[in-house]
Structure 1
């Protein structure tokens, strides 16, 4: 067995001669790039290929096809799935160029760039990319999952702002993909994750935004019932210039956690608006009046500080996540959620979030995409840290939450909230026609199944 492993390693090491980047086998410097953000996911590929350019990606694809291997891709490891030793993991961290065209209001961004770098590059020009709630995730993985951000009701999906992709398909072909060039791939790359290839660069539109009115109100758990019900009523006539979510939080007593929030149940009301300050302030005043916040962190803020609204964790940790989409919610639904997430529930989850959708998201953009379920009313998401002694209860309680909300959830979810290699779970992000089209395109552009790994849409082998 050791001889077979050594021979396999020697074969993979021979890939080095064809790359400008590097190949790292287990135990070698660079292999640590395989570590995902979610430390509960066993990511142990045969080798990590730190690509330096699109040619490296193409060479890796061809090599994998020749030797019966598969290829996965990672930047930050958000949304990682389990990988074994029949996989080469392409790490895109060196593809980190970011070039802003202030006159054209566009940016060309390498697939290995994180969103904060794009925010910082665009801000001096009075421009901004449409990002997600965390600016520490990679650009390409977020956009191929369509991208739901704090301003989703105002501007729609982040992937709707994509102008072009540079992509390497499973058969090693480098393509520029636009609405006019390889239009079928342009459709599928926006929502299909890595099904149709590995993105090496994207061109996106930038928005003329320098600041917003936003942040979060943090209420004590004892006020969660009143605030959650008031929030639901408030959502019903919330204008499209504003987006919001609520999150039941149980944050640990760590140095980075504000003392008023540490070691207790709190309810955060997240808010982001491009309305005039007085108009946005009048809106949020309705919720400020329900109860006295422990922390009031809503006000005018630089757009480049958008991540502060959700304050998502940055450091890797082992977590269990669940998610789903709902139709319209009633106060009965809020009561059901409070029973499993609110005061007295005994919830072990670190966060359970309910995010208002609709608005611009509900309308089809100029260029259709593989993203489905635009008619969803809310997104439900939860995550708990898998550390003793709560690890087992976190997993079990996630099922309790899903069962409690089953009367209102649709069975669907969002691509960026469905990290799994389970075909049935992956299919929840799409309708039947989209699954069929993505599968057919994948078989056309990856006939040898090099990319048949992880969160991709493929027909059974």
Structure 2
């Protein structure tokens, strides 16, 4: 270990590891297994002071910095350079029941906040998977489980503790630094290493929800029926539909094994009786392979989507749509359905409602006018970008007429550098230029660039 790294290790309570050292591979590995960071130094932070020491170390040497909690959202991987800061050990959660907020350190998962908030009759504005990290989800905007009622999760953020590229630990609020506060809520990990975040909670203790699995022998008909159904719904009901071929594995429920299946997910905050009435048209579509829709405590919301818990490889993206055109849906199925050139998961999420309303102090989230989000993903033992990318692109091309943007939270790159024009698609044009100004002020040398990178104005596009 070099003298410089030894000095860093003396400042940090957590592990400081170099390639080839014991624990290095485990520390750099996250949920995405298709590609991993391979940094020159990895720092396992246990406290904000560890993060500050790592950022100062990198800044003094003009080394790039990447930050990883669970590793779900890795975009571009460090490859033999830079400093990776892992935050999984930073697990403190504090719920202020009277104030209706939760403060979470950078390694906290949504499930931990859900459990801590529930005894107070409160819930966070989380997504479908409780094993996702709080910080990365909120920085990306957050298309929440109850989003048609609540809107984007990042709009609930009240304060952020962040170490910026100068090594300073800042407590950022709307009053202390309105531009940086705006940029952090939807602008991703471009502006520093977040150590903690405070978010408002909502008074929700239960819901009527779950999943309906149908054999998708006629997927276009199911998508048309789902589209028509969403046009009738109140804002209190947030839903999505996913299409995929399930593997023939013992871990997969027997009715789904080896079948091409449509999975409709439902989260409704109204009464169970009203929920039954609203869901009845879907149940009338035909026999369900599995039907888990029921009254449930909010602590069980992770059962609605049944997102995988096992780390794996995946690649994909999304488009935000002004309309779910019936004719285009047939093209989507033709290109990415059961006969696709590579296996694809097609996922459509119903937006609108509170998603489309701008709060008094909105963050940088783009595409708020979208009515739907359509995602296409492909998984495998390694990120299958070479085969999958052209298939996915054909879907996006077919939907171009109705595309109004992309959601940062659901862009799963294959580790290759992200082009600046791809990043521009995530934001309104004027917001992107404002984000560049904030980036230039707080990270002029672009240390935090292994993300959906917004380059400072001095950088070359």
Q: Tell me if 1:38 matches 2:32.
A: yes
The partner residue of 1:254 within 228, 233, 249 is 249
Aligned to 1:358: 352
CA drift of 1:426 comes to: 1.8
Q: Tell me if 1:441 matches 2:438.
A: yes
Aligned to 1:137: 132
Please say which of residues 160-169 and 386-395 is displaced more in the overlay.
386-395
Superimposed CA distance per residue, residues 311-370 of structure 1 (whole angstroms, 9 cap, x where no aligned partner): 111111121212111111232122222323445x34633521011111001011121211
SS in 2 for 1:354: strand
SS in 1 for 2:51: helix
Aligned to 1:115: 110
CA contact (8 A) 1:76 1:137 kept: yes
Q: Where do residues 4-153 of structure 1 align in structure 2 (5 Å cutoff)?
A: 9-31=2-24, 32-80=26-74, 81-153=76-148
SS in 1 for 2:305: coil
CA contact (8 A) 1:348 1:390 kept: no
Q: Tell me if 1:219 matches 2:214.
A: yes
SS in 2 for 1:371: coil
SS in 1 for 2:316: strand
Distance 1:64 1:127 in 2: 40
Distance 1:201 1:225 in 2: 44
Q: Tell me if 1:451 matches 2:448.
A: yes
Structure 2 residue runs of 5 or longer lacking an equivalent are none
Q: Tell me if 1:372 matches 2:369.
A: no
Structure 1 residue runs of 5 or longer lacking an equivalent are 1-5
CA drift of 1:438 comes to: 1.3
Q: Tell me if 1:399 matches 2:396.
A: no
Distance 2:189 2:388 in 1: 29
CA drift of 1:40 comes to: 1.5
CA contact (8 A) 1:385 1:391 kept: no
Superimposed CA distance per residue, residues 363-385 of structure 1 (whole angstroms, 9 cap, x where no aligned partner): 11121211111001111112112
Superposition TM-score, scaled by structure 2 size = 0.93
CA contact (8 A) 1:354 1:380 kept: yes
Distance 2:88 2:168 in 1: 21
CA contact (8 A) 1:223 1:291 kept: no
SS in 2 for 1:222: coil
Aligned to 2:426: 429
The partner residue of 1:329 within 317, 320, 324 is 324
Q: Where do residues 266-285 of structure 1 align in structure 2 (5 Å cutoff)?
A: 266-285=261-280
SS in 2 for 1:164: strand
1:261/1:394 CA distance change after superposition, 3 Å? farther
The partner residue of 2:153 within 132, 154, 158 is 158
1:36/1:182 CA distance change after superposition, 3 Å? same
CA contact (8 A) 2:37 2:84 kept: no
The partner residue of 1:228 within 218, 223, 237 is 223
Distance 1:372 1:395 in 2: 23
SS in 1 for 2:183: helix
Distance 1:182 1:264 in 2: 52
1:57/1:106 CA distance change after superposition, 3 Å? same
Distance 1:58 1:23 in 2: 14
SS in 2 for 1:275: coil
CA contact (8 A) 2:34 2:383 kept: no
Distance 1:288 1:407 in 2: 32
Distance 2:352 2:331 in 1: 22
Q: Tell me if 1:417 matches 2:414.
A: no
Q: Where do residues 179-198 of structure 1 align in structure 2 (5 Å cutoff)?
A: 179-198=174-193
The count of residues paired between Structure 1 and Structure 2 equals 452
